[in-house]
Amino acid sequence: MIDLTEWGWNLDWESKYRRQTETGEAARVIATYQGMFRIIGQDGEGWAEISGRFRHDEQTDWPVTGDFVVIKPGSRSIIITVLERASALTRKAAGRAFEHQTVAANVDTTFVMQSMDHDFNLRRLERYLTMVWQGKSQPVVLLTKSDVAMDPGPWIKSVQDMAPRVAVHAVSSLTGDGLDQLEPYLRPGVTVALVGSSSVGKSTLLNRISQGAGQRTQETRERDQRGRHTTTHRELFLTPERALIIDTPGMRELHLVEAGSGLDQTFQDVGEWLGQCRYRDCHHHGEPGCMVQQALDSGDLDPSRWEAYCKLQREVEHVERRDDPKAQSAMRDHWKKVSKAGRQNRQFKEGRYR
């Protein structure tokens, strides 16, 4: 018999399990493949597939790595329901089609990883932090490859200046430098997710701190165009210290699907100035009493931070309009009025307006 408490089960999950109405056993999804799931339940590891309800109900989220589920056990178990998630890392799926993609669920802490080389990018880091905050997980920034950085100090400071409330650690998975700083996060029953671009060293870090427990990722890793091995699926591992780690594939692009509270958390410096504007509906483009404009003019607010905030806000608003029929209708009405006003203006200039 497997003790699910080793896999993150606790009294909160027990309460959620007892409140749901399906009859079955509790399990946790530890890996997701195309249409198939690897689960851990009271009888150990096994394969599972989803019930027909998931396939036919577009409003029902499919299970993802980290989910606690209810199953009908068997040689191939059937997942019949997903317990309400405590947290979820969600983004727009890669590609042109608009689809939400949940990267991992029920993550307590997320290691947002960037290497101290060409991968380092503060604007991309803002996106990751927004996704993590919005998903109700606690972000921690790991700056990897400290063994090749001349001086990690300036790299750390640039992140701390941008995100003063987020812990930042410089580490090297090759030499082990700085890994002792991660021990407070890797506690028994706590789930940690590793996110970041390809080649930042997620799988290398996993194998180092799990003492080889993550070697199974080699079975489903492929070589990218540069010949490096990259993880191609999401899997949850139990370390010798009984911490839980979810390894994820590198994200070539990260587009947000929602970011209300996430934006507020990531851009607290911007929010402080927004809250001081004289008018609630201030557009921050020259209105009298606009504190944002004054902060930009005085240098108290970094223009790059303001531009990044506006860009992410526009991106999220675009997503919300696509999801909300009322917002779509309001936007169509808005542009009809704009088009009509432009047409009337041209007619007036040409002397044709009545």
pLDDT of residue 316: 75
Residue 26 vs residue 334, higher pLDDT: 26
Is the same domain home to 131 and 181? Answer: yes
Q: How confident is the model at residue 269 (pLDDT cuts 50, 70, 90)?
A: confident
Q: How confident is the model at residue 133 (pLDDT cuts 50, 70, 90)?
A: very high
Q: Which residues pair with 113 in a beta bridge?
A: 142, 196
What gap in Å lies between CA 153 and CA 341, rounded to an integer? 55
Domain range for 101 is 88-247
Whether 252 is covered by a domain: the verdict is no
Residue 231 vs residue 46, higher pLDDT: 46
Q: Count up the domains in the chain and report the number.
A: 3
Is the same domain home to 196 and 218? Answer: yes
Whether 209 is covered by a domain: the verdict is yes
Of 195-209, 233-247, 295-309, 314-328, the one with minimum mean pLDDT is 314-328
Is the same domain home to 155 and 70? Answer: no
Strands 191-196, 109-115: pairing kind: parallel
Is the same domain home to 103 and 18? Answer: no
Whether 320 is covered by a domain: the verdict is yes
Contact present, 216 and 231 (Cβ < 8 Å): no
* Half-sphere CA count of 115, side-chain side, radius 13 A: 18
pLDDT mean over 138-149: 92
pLDDT of residue 122: 93
Is the same domain home to 216 and 300? Answer: no
pLDDT tens per residue, range 114-132: 999 878 989 999 999 999 9
- Enclosing H/E stretch for 195: strand 191-196
Is the same domain home to 67 and 188? Answer: no
Question: Of 64, 82, 100, which residue constitutes the final position of a domain?
Answer: 82
pLDDT of 137 over the 90 cut: yes
Whether 77 is covered by a domain: the verdict is yes
pLDDT mean over 278-286: 77
What gap in Å lies between CA 159 and CA 151, rounded to an integer? 14
pLDDT mean over 26-52: 93
Of 1-15, 37-51, 248-262, 290-304, the one with minimum mean pLDDT is 248-262
For 117, phi then psi, to 5°, come to -150, -140
